[in-house]
Amino acid sequence: MVKEILKNKQAVIGLIMMFIVAFIAVFAPFIAVNNPEEISPAQKFARFSGRYPLGADQLGRCIFSRLIYGARYSLGIAIPVLLILAVISTFLGTVSAYIGGRFDRIFSIFCDIFMAFPPLLVVLSLVGALGQGILNIMIAVIFSMWVWFARVIRSYVLMEKKKGYVTASKIVGCSDIQIITRHIIPNILPAFIVYFSTGVAGIILMISGFSFLGLGIEAGVPEWGAMLSSAKPYLYSRPLLLIYPGIFILFTAAGFNLFGEALRDIISPEGG
């Protein structure tokens, strides 16, 4: 599997892009040349220079340093959200499909109700009710997305459940928990990874979208979406202020998407 990934050009490109962003996020204090939140009105819209590699923004903050720190917010929010989503949806999806019967049917109806809301709408209404803040955005995103992930996992487990090895392990005397954790989950793991790595890209885009709307993240925080939003008035005079953060979001999301899609091709070659 690892060999196949390394042989696939698209997967390698995606992996490298993911590593670059992770590296930037971890080592941000060493890469950034200035404090990303330091305001110096005298340097307002400063040009490219050694001190400000990409110039300064409307408050004289170093754009380059802000972009670098932005990686921390983007990954720092998306990855915990994804991990929690993975745990919740794997648990619910697997249990529902494995128990089956009436329980599964009620769970499906429950899913249908949640799926009647486009995820963006759930986040909007929850942020409306809970109020702003990074934690509330994370809760809202988890609340809006779990059902879509759980649904997919449920359908995988349903397919696996019918296979011979599950019956065989039952006959041998494995307990239900053993069958789920040692047999079913390892078998559907590759499909999981594909689904979740493309999911990260979606979550990154979603969160940057909310901070663009001014929901969730306070003004002044060097988050890419928020930076774009605060640059909006300078559309005519400083269009570059709007272009930079978008390139970073695009780069990050594209890395996860490229990797996830390549992985899908490796796991299930048919169907493109």
Partner 1 sequence: MLRYISNRLIGLIIVLIGVTVLTFIFSNISTVDPAEAFARRNILNPTPMQIEELREEMGLNLPVYRQYFHWMGESMKGNLGISLLTKNPVSADIAKKMPATLSIVGMAFFWIVVITLPISILSAVKQNGVFDHVARVITIFGISMPNFWLGFIMLIAFAVVVPIFNVVDYGNFKSIILPSLTLAIPVISSSIRLFRATILLNMNKDFVTYAKARGISKTNIIWKHILKNSLPPMITLMCQNLGYMIAGSAIVESVFSWPGIGSHLVEAIVGRDLPTINGCVLVIAVIFVLSNLFADVVNIMLNPKILNEQGEF
What distance, in Å, lies between the first and last C-alpha atoms of the chain?
18
Stretch in the footprint of partner 1 (CB under 8 A) among 28-36, 42-50, 159-167, 256-264: 256-264
The yes or no reply on residue 84 touching partner 1 (CB under 8 A) is: no
Count of residues of this chain found to bind partner 1 when the rule CB under 8 A is applied: 47
Residue closer to partner 1, measured from CB, 188 or 201 = 201
Full DSSP string of 9-70: HHHHHHHHHHHHHHHHHHTHHHH-SS-TT---GGGTT--S-SSSTT-B-TTS-BHHHHHHHH
Range 119-178, binding partner 1 (CB under 8 A)? 120-122, 124-131
Smallest distance from partner 1 to CB 143, Å: 9
Report helix angle 185-212 to 224-231, nearest 10: 20
CA-based max dimension of the chain: 77
Q: Whole-angstrom Cα distance, residue 89 to residue 142?
A: 10
Residues near 270 by beta carbon (within 8 Å), at least 6 away in sequence: none
Phi, psi of 131 (to 5 degrees): 95, 175
Residue closer to partner 1, measured from CB, 86 or 241 = 241
Q: How many CB atoms lie within 10 A of CB 243?
A: 11
Residues near 68 by beta carbon (within 8 Å), at least 6 away in sequence: 24, 28, 31, 32, 36
Stretch in the footprint of partner 1 (CB under 8 A) among 50-58, 157-165, 184-192, 264-272: 264-272
Residue closer to partner 1, measured from CB, 190 or 246 = 246
Smallest distance from partner 1 to CB 157, Å: 20
Residues near 76 by beta carbon (within 8 Å), at least 6 away in sequence: 25
Q: Which of 225, 226, 230, 263 binds partner 1 (CB under 8 A)?
A: 225
Q: Which of 26, 113, 159, 189 binds partner 1 (CB under 8 A)?
A: 113
Stretch in the footprint of partner 1 (CB under 8 A) among 80-88, 176-184, 187-195, 241-249: 241-249
Binding string to partner 1 for residues 173 to 212, with x set by CB under 8 A, is what?
Answer: ----------------------------x---x--xx--x
Smallest distance from partner 1 to CB 53, Å: 21
The yes or no reply on residue 106 touching partner 1 (CB under 8 A) is: no
Q: How far is CA 74 from CA 9, 25, 158, 214, 224, in A?
A: 26, 9, 34, 15, 8
Catalog residues that contact partner 1 under the rule CB under 8 A.
Answer: 109-110, 112-114, 116-118, 120-122, 124-131, 201, 205, 208-209, 212-215, 225, 228, 232, 235-236, 239, 242-243, 245-246, 249-250, 253-254, 257-258, 261, 270-272
